[in-house]
Amino acid sequence: MIVIAIALGFAVMGAAAERLASVWPAEEASRRTAGPRTALLAIGAGLAGGAVAWRSELPPWATAVYLVLLALMLFLTATDLEQRRLPHLLLDPLILAALLFVPFNPSLSPPAAIGGAVAAIAFLGLLGLVVRNGLALGDLYLVTPIGLLLGWPSVFSALFAAALLAAATSIVLLVSRRVGMKSYIPFGPFLVAGAVLALLTNPYLLGHAAAVGGL
């Protein structure tokens, strides 16, 4: 019942985040009406939140921290999709919360968490130098808390999944002529999706292995 309640709560947050991104801040607002994206974000958020809650064998307080951080990432995802930006109003609390969680995270040692963040920033920073206009500065900020939560070397699973999802989505959009070769497709939502996939598939992050001893 708790998992279902969390899934429903995240579904509501997904729809609310998409609606909020369309009207706030006023200077960026498109005031677009609800549509397929609203439904997709609600469904995706519900599945992600419910899956993390169902998968976690960590203490309830630690699971709650993961879910709160995931909720912040959800609002960033909606904003990036709508406005093509990742505002510091959401990024800064996410980074601070992830940093404060590092000494208490039962899944990761602090060196592994810090190593994950440093490696992710370095990798995306190098990629940004190679692929012109492929990454925004906000993506480097976003990958910081993701690296802190996933750690070394698990963060690379998230980055790899994000890259595959972004490539597949780009191909579909190009084939359907929804975008052109020079169109900008935000990478933030794919980073969040990759992080969720890594959390769900790595036994040391949410699973029994972490609960009984960690890394």
Name the residue among 110, 94, 204 with its Cα closest to residue 157: 204
Asked whether residue 173 carries a pLDDT value surpassing 90, the answer given is: no
How far is the C-alpha of 168 from the C-alpha of 134, rounded, in Å? 15
The answer to whether 42 touches 12, Cβ cutoff 8 Å, is: yes
Check residue 215 and give its pLDDT: 43
Residue 33 lies in a domain: no
Residue whose structure tokens are 């429903």: 8
Confidence class of residue 183 from pLDDT cuts 50, 70 and 90? confident
Residue 203 lies in a domain: yes
Asked whether residue 213 carries a pLDDT value surpassing 70, the answer given is: no
Check residue 129 and give its pLDDT: 77
For 55-100, what is each residue's pLDDT tens digit?
A: 999 999 999 999 999 999 999 999 999 988 899 999 999 999 999 9
Check residue 204 and give its pLDDT: 87
Token pair in block for residue 99: 């940093």
For 80, the domain range is 62-212
The answer to whether 214 touches 106, Cβ cutoff 8 Å, is: yes
Check residue 184 and give its pLDDT: 78
DSSP H helical ranges for the chain: 2-23, 36-55, 60-83, 88-101, 110-130, 137-150, 155-175, 188-201, 208-212
Residue 121 lies in a domain: yes
| Average pLDDT in the chain | 90
For 13-26, what is each residue's pLDDT tens digit?
A: 999 999 999 887 76
The answer to whether 134 touches 170, Cβ cutoff 8 Å, is: no
How far is the C-alpha of 145 from the C-alpha of 163, rounded, in Å? 18
Residue 172 lies in a domain: yes
Q: What letter would DSSP give residue 34?
A: P
Pick the more confident residue, 121 or 25. Answer: 121
The answer to whether 86 touches 77, Cβ cutoff 8 Å, is: no
Check residue 4 and give its pLDDT: 95
Asked whether residue 137 carries a pLDDT value surpassing 90, the answer given is: no
Asked whether residue 27 carries a pLDDT value surpassing 60, the answer given is: yes
Asked whether residue 134 carries a pLDDT value surpassing 90, the answer given is: no
Number of structural domains in the chain: 1
Residue 159 lies in a domain: yes
Residue 21 lies in a domain: no
Check residue 214 and give its pLDDT: 45
